[in-house]
Every structure is written in C-alpha cells, then in structure tokens.
C-alpha cells in the first residue's frame, strides 16, 4: 500500500527528493523514512543553487549545519547537503 504522504507531495518513493518550483520558500521536498519513522521534509532556499565544489559559501553551510547534517535522513540539513551541496 502506498503511503498518502507520497502522493500528497508528489514524490515517487521514500527518501527520493523532488524539486518544488512552485513552493513559496522551499526548493525541494522529500518524504524521509528511517526504520518505521516517516516525515515530510521541505528544504533548500528557493532560487539558490548549491556549490558542488568547496567554495566559501559551501564551507560556511557545512560548518553551520554540521551537527544537523549528522542527524541523518530525518533532518532537512542532511537533505540540503546531499541534494544542493
């Protein structure tokens, strides 16, 4: 059975991020699943692109959100780091 959260946000499956160009503030959405916990996470600043190589901006993001990124799949910082940076 497909979870209703997947169809509501329009993603193809758990832990599969999708761009949300029409969302007012957030650029991506993902329905994160870890074990039996499921959570809808919106992340990323609309209109901003990440830097795939280590620029000052990328270093600052990773330094600022290091603890949150380490929390894993259930944090927005993890997904922003993975998808945008």
Q: Is the pLDDT of residue 50 over 90?
A: no
Q: Is the pLDDT of residue 66 over 80?
A: yes
Report pLDDT digits (tens) over 13-43: 999 999 999 999 999 999 999 999 999 999 9
In the numeric block, which tokens belong to residue 13?
């499956």
The sign one gets for the Cα dihedral 52, 74, 28, 23 is negative
Q: What end-to-end distance do the CA atoms of the chain give, in Å?
A: 33
């Amino acid at each position: 059975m497909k979870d209703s959260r997947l169809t509501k946000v329009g993603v193809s499956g758990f832990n599969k991020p999708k761009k949300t160009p029409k969302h007012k503030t957030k650029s991506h959405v993902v329905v994160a699943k870890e074990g039996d916990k499921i959570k809808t996470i919106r992340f990323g600043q609309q209109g901003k692109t990440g830097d795939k190589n280590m620029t000052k901006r990328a270093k600052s993001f990773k330094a600022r959100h290091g603890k949150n990124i380490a929390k894993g799949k259930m944090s927005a910082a993890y997904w922003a780091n993975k998808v945008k940076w």
